[in-house]
Structure 1
Amino acid sequence: MVIIGGGGKHYKKRKGIFSHLAGLGFSNRLALYIILFLAAGLAGGFYLALKSIQYNYSGALACWTIVFTPIGTAASIVLSQIVRKSTIENSSADGEGIKYAAAKANGFIQTGSDESPGI
């Protein structure tokens, strides 16, 4: 682990492919896992379709459709609730967003530079 710092601030550089997942909360990690699960289902359906073409199967692939339709529906419900939860968490009591509230507290003065614009 390398510590990079300046001006009293220290940033830890993480190593590894999945190290960025350590900073995510449970809900966001769950959302990523659901997306990965749906991607695996899509890849499996594509493979099944290729095999069906290869062996001249022209019937319905109902087994795959019946399994993944409710999973896709449930995933969309769960993902929409995760987005709703994040929206609520990132709003003030007045319903203002965090960035808007910070800009309001600064008197709507532009901070930062051209390379790294502020709020």
Structure 2
Amino acid sequence: MLAILERLGFTNCLAVLLVLLLIMGLAGGFVLAVLSIKYQYTGALACWTVVFTPIGTAVSIVLVRIVDKSRAENTGADGEGIKYATAKATNFAPAQEPVGSVDSPAI
């Protein structure tokens, strides 16, 4: 799991962690609602709403900026995607894996 997050880069790792924070907040709200029903609490759950509404709003703004950053990084000057331009430059041939021996990887 750590290797996957390391390959993602800081910004995308931050996005994954922020989504996990939102999921934890949603799960916590669900548990709080179930406990309220179990103990017949009929009041408002404002304590949870007041805490997670600004967090959710801030996280959504940050996630939009992360998507915009990724889009800007993966678009060339002519509007073409970087991966598409790379594939076009190699005539859409699949990437060749480096050849190594059976006992050790290629260098």
TM band (smaller chain): 0.7 to 0.9
Which structure features the higher share of strand residues? 1
Which structure features the higher share of helix residues? 2
Length, aligned pairs only: 94
Pairing 1:69-84 to 2, within 5 Å after superposition: 69-84=53-68
Unaligned runs of 5+ in 1: 1-16, 113-119
Identity of aligned residues (%): 62
Residues 110/90 of structure 1: CA separation in 2 closer, same or farther (3 Å cut): closer
Which of the pair has the greater relative contact order for Cα pairs under 8 Å at 6+ separation? Answer: 2
Runs of 4+ in 1 over 6 A off after TM superposition: none
Deviates more, 1:39-48 or 1:18-27: 18-27
What value does the CA root-mean-square deviation take over the aligned residues?
Answer: 1.5
When the two structures are superposed, what TM-score results if normalisation uses the length of structure 2? 0.79
Of the three residues 79, 83, 94, the one matched with 1:95 is: 79
When the two structures are superposed, what TM-score results if normalisation uses the length of structure 1? 0.71
User: What is the CA deviation profile of residues 90-114 of structure 1, one whole-angstrom value per residue up to 9, with x for unaligned ones?
Assistant: 11112211133234434xx5534xx
Unaligned runs of 5+ in 2: 95-107
